[in-house]
């Protein structure tokens, strides 16, 4: 069944009444916020008191599916397979196969057909794996949610929440689905992720009459992806997954079409230009052959084969293979690539704009220090039982809304969780304290009071514990608790100490208490929070990740600037940035208020200099990115909220948080960090540079070898030699000799200096930095040694001249692929075995090449003759010329005699494993 809103409905359970629609409005079309709570519960067939039954929840989960943002549909396997035969050059090969059959060369037809099938299988496997890699998004971790089912409070994965569930909310929670609120206790929500409004929203349960109220005005609703700022509450789930407001936005943002990378576009243009040149050369070769009296049909087939050999039709496929392999490798490094173009673009990143919390830091507050009485102290050992410490630890354990799981793990606001953990670490068991001193009242935190108070029964007395900002708490205190008893307090001294702790980057909380012989009546700030005794100050910090400083240093050596953009206070941001090496001692921290006062021109000028932005609004992130891009920078941006989605789309690389991020942020991002770790971004950049380097190596190898084949066939008639290669030889070289080692180059480990050179320009030509010169002279050299071998054998009267030319050309390419594993470093310095896949591909290619000569069946197909020992040794010796020449070229590059290589900085690093 479907509701009038077009969304699926559950079959009605027996005696349960109407079934829930699971959409943004009930079946009658009236918005949820205009209905009383009782009517909502009736429509959802649930209970405000007990929630759904477990069996009913399981039934609805099967009917509605997971509470998740759906991903775009994958291409089917059949579509991927058919796509392998749509390429222009594949059609040219097919035409060559038909022509070979027409002129009576069935072995060529079979060989070309096998080539087509093998190429299709390889391309299918790589594309299918790339598509499957994207599906890993579905397995990303989802936050747990407290729900009440059958009257029992339980914790379930957010992905298993269903319409009708009664969800319990508390400070720090992310709302897992769209809820109609049924209960609120000073509940306030941060909805900027959905509405863009920075102010927190006070929530209520009363019915709102306006059916056209915008999302931000529906104060009796809570929406998926928003966060509980403070207070507690409960609500009935009215929509999940793509039926939520968040899902609606995700559906709009997900309407993207596939795009080719700049590299793929450049390679496509390269192929088109080479095709034009190849057709002209082929026409010339055909004409020269006919002038020499060669048979027309064999010469036509040779010309077509030469065209196939001249055009590196495998380049787009190899690019896809390299990107897909790189994406798979990055998954192992905890980075999920959603769009393959991002893998290439990562190599060009010059600025990384990164959030502080959770990415550079551990996203878990930790008590760093205390100030108790007159002295500072590190967290006390469990044996501390004197002075103010016992009462202070009791305050930390009791004054909070942290929920303890059955296993004892605390859930709730990160600050309160840190305080509870500190108390537990010092020997005060929070669960035992809660049982011994039950809570009898609460004054929840409000921004106006900037503090929170809880009341507990201590035997015959009542004790109030208060925590909050030092200024507000101290204004309520009349003394402090000393070693033995309360004593006088110097407010100025305590505030000065609080300022010193804050300047060290700590979040400072003051803790106080007051004892009442009788429970206060009424429970109000005036009666409870006045006349208190200070227990001390607690300094908390979200500590930097241990690996973050090294990752920032790596970025610096790689010419990448790290910029921290955070909503935190400037003092805290400066401290963390200084610890990590992002900010120099006299570096500037630009606050959001200052940023808003800058005109666009001034922002562009300052953007290249500022390294830390604090108290930044979501829209200001886009302004920062635009300012950097206007200076020609390639920007990577991290984000986790829906409000970050425009910034993620604006940046060249959008990076979403896989653990703490919203589904919409993940949907629009190019890369998802599965561990929310900045060091993972650096690993992704390293992988991007490695992949681009390997693509360049394949271009260098394939285009040079193809050029050598063209020069060989073009110059042979000009120096009065017969056509040295048959069509089957060209096809063999194009598939096996070029293909196997070329694909193995995708597994080449990163070069030692990969993170010690400046980023490449995004508009850099693929043939920049000496590659086009290499293609020309090495192609000519390879053709020269092939023709020299042919000429020697031909004029010496050997009947094996064609086989020798075929062998020298194939083996020369093996020497070439070994030499170009690095553009600068010698093969012997890198280690011959550092890429075992390439070594195996070269060895296999050599064995297969010898098989075409010495295996009787293969020699008939390839029209070759077995070479004698002397002839084979000559072929092997001549083939090493290309290897030695390229090694000499790299020796000159290292000494900066040839080309302009990018400078490298910092100490050498070890090559990455394959």
Q: What is the greatest pairwise CA distance in the chain?
A: 119
**Phi and psi, residue 229, nearest 5°:** -75, -45
CA 185 centroid distance within chain: 38
Q: Which two tokens stand for residue 172?
A: 């720090």
* Percent helix / strand / coil, the chain, rounded to 5: 50, 15, 35
DSSP 830-883: H-TTSSHHHHHHHHHHHHHHHHHHHSHHHHHHHT--PPPHHHHHHHHHHHHHHH
**Closest C-alpha to 742, from 339, 327, 316:** 316
* Cβ-contact 465, 454 below 8 angstroms: yes
**Closest C-alpha to 767, from 237, 418, 315:** 315
Based on its alpha-carbon atoms, the radius of gyration of the chain, rounded to whole angstroms, reads 35
Q: Which residue has the tokens 């390439």?
A: 838
Residue 772: DSSP 8-state: H
Three-state DSSP class for 20?
coil
Q: Within 13 Å of residue 271, how many CA atoms lie on the same side as its CB?
A: 19
Instruction: Clarify whether 87 is annotated catalytic.
Output: no
CA 203 centroid distance within chain: 35
Q: Which two tokens stand for residue 482?
A: 């000393």
Of the candidates 165, 178, 355, 753, the residue annotated as catalytic is 355
**Closest C-alpha to 871, from 792, 787, 810, 816:** 792
**Residue 831: partners with Cβ closer than 8 Å, 6 or more residues away:** 911
CA dist 51 and 164 (Å) reads 7
* Cβ-contact 575, 624 below 8 angstroms: no
Exposed e or buried b for every residue in 720-747, given b needs 16+ CB within 10 A? ebebbbbbbbbbbbbbbbbbbbbbbbbb
**Phi and psi, residue 766, nearest 5°:** -60, -25
List the Cα angle 374/377/381 in 5-degree steps. Answer: 130
CA dist 239 and 218 (Å) reads 15
DSSP 441-486: EEEEEETTTTEEEEEEEETTEEEEEEEE-HHHHHTTEEEEE-SSSE
**Phi and psi, residue 313, nearest 5°:** -65, -15
Q: Which two tokens stand for residue 885?
A: 């020449």
**Residue 546: partners with Cβ closer than 8 Å, 6 or more residues away:** none
**Closest C-alpha to 166, from 174, 157, 180, 158:** 180
**Closest C-alpha to 912, from 753, 679, 699:** 753
CA dist 289 and 889 (Å) reads 36
Q: Catalytic residue positions?
A: 355
């Amino acid at each position: 069944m479907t509701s009038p809103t077009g969304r699926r409905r559950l079959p009605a359970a027996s005696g349960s009444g109407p079934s829930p629609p699971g959409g943004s409005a009930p079946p009658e079309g009236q918005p949820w916020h205009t209905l009383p709570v009782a009517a909502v519960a009736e429509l959802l067939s649930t209970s405000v008191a007990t929630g759904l039954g477990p069996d009913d929840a399981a039934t609805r989960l099967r009917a509605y599916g997971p509470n998740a943002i759906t991903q775009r549909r994958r291409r089917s396997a059949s579509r991927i397979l058919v796509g392998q035969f749509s390429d222009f050059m594949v059609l040219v090969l097919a035409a060559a196969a038909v022509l070979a059959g027409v002129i009576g060369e069935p072995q060529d037809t079979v060989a070309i057909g096998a080539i087509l099938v093998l190429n299709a299988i390889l391309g299918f496997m790589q594309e299918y794996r790339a598509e499957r890699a994207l599906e890993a998004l579905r397995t990303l971790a989802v936050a747990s949610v407290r729900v009440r089912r059958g009257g029992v409070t339980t914790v379930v994965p957010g992905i298993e929440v269903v319409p009708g569930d009664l969800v319990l909310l508390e400070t720090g929670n992310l709302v897992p689905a769209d809820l109609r609120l049924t209960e609120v206790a000073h509940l306030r929500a941060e909805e900027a992720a959905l509405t863009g409004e920075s102010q927190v929203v006070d929530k209520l349960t009363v019915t709102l009459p306006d059916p056209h109220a915008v999302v931000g005005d529906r104060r009796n609703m809570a929406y998926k992806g928003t966060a509980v700022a403070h207070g507690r509450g409960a609500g009935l789930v009215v929509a999940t997954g793509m039926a939520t407001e968040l899902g609606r936005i995700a559906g709009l943002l997900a309407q993207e079409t596939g795009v080719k990378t700049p590299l793929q576009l450049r390679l496509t243009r390269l192929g088109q230009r080479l095709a034009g040149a190849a057709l002209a050369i082929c026409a010339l070769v055909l004409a020269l052959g006919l002038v020499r009296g060669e048979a027309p049909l064999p010469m036509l087939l040779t010309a077509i084969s030469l065209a196939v050999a001249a055009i590196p039709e495998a380049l787009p496929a190899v690019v896809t293979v390299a990107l897909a392999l790189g994406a798979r490798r990055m998954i192992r490094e905890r980075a999920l690539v959603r769009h393959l173009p991002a893998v290439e673009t990562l190599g060009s990143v010059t600025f990384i704009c990164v959030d502080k919390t959770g990415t550079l830091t551990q996203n878990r507050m930790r008590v760093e220090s205390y100030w108790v009485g007159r002295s500072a102290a590190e967290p006390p050992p469990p044996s501390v039982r004197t002075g103010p410490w016992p009462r202070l630890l009791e305050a930390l354990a009791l004054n909070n809304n942290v929920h303890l799981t059955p296993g004892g793990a605390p859930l709730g606001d990160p600050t309160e969780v840190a305080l509870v953990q500190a108390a537990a670490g010092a020997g005060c068991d929070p669960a035992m304290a809660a049982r011994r001193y039950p809570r009898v009242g609460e004054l929840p935190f409000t921004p106006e009071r900037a503090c929170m108070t809880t009341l507990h029964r201590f035997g015959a007395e009542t004790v109030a514990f208060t925590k909050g900002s030092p200024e507000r708490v101290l204004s309520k205190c009349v003394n402090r608790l000393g070693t033995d008893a309360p004593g006088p307090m110097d407010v100025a001294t305590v505030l000065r100490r609080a300022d010193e702790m804050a300047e060290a980057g700590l979040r400072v909380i003051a803790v106080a208490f007051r004892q009442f012989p009788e429970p206060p009546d009424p429970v109000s700030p005036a009666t409870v929070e006045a006349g208190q005794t200070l227990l001390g100050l607690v300094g908390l910090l979200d500590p930097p990740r241990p690996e973050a400083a090294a990752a920032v240093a790596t970025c610096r050596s790689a010419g990448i600037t790290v910029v921290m953009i955070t909503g935190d206070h400037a003092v805290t941001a400066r401290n963390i940035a200084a610890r990590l090496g992002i900010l120099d001692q006299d570096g500037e921290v630009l606050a959001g208020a200052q940023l808003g006062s800058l005109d666009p021109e001034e922002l562009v000028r300052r953007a290249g200099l500022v390294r830390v932005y604090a108290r930044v609004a979501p829209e200001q992130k886009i302004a920062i990115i635009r300012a950097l891009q206007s200076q020609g920078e390639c920007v990577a941006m991290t984000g986790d909220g829906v409000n970050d989605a425009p910034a993620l789309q604006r940046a060249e690389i959008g990076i979403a948080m896989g653990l703490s991020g919203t589904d919409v942020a993940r949907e629009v991002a190019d890369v998802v960090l599965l561990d929310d770790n900045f060091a993972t971004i650096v690993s992704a950049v390293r992988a991007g540079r490695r992949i681009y380097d390997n693509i360049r190596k394949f271009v260098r190898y394939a285009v040079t070898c193809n050029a050598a084949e063209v020069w060989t066939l073009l110059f042979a008639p000009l120096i009065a030699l017969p056509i040295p290669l048959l069509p089957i030889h060209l096809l063999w070289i194009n598939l096996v000799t070029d293909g196997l080692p070329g694909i193995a180059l995708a597994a080449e480990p990163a070069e030692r200096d990969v993170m010690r050179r400046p980023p490449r320009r995004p508009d850099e030509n693929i043939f920049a930095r000496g590659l086009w010169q290499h293609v020309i002279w090495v192609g000519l050299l390879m053709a020269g040694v092939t023709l020299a071998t042919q000429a020697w054998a031909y004029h010496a009267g050997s009947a094996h001249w064609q086989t020798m030319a075929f062998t020298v050309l194939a083996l020369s390419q093996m020497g070439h692929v070994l030499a170009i594993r690095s553009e600068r470093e010698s093969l012997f310095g890198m280690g011959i075995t550092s890429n075992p896949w390439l070594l195996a591909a070269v060895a296999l290619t050599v064995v297969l090449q010898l098989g075409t000569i010495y295996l009787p069946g293969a020699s008939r197909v390839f029209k070759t003759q077995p070479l004698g020992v002397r002839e084979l040794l000559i072929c092997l010796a001549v083939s090493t010329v290309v290897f030695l020449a390229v090694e000499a070229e790299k020796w000159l590059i290292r000494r900066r005699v040839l080309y302009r290589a990018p400078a490298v900085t910092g100490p050498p690093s070890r090559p990455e494993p394959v």
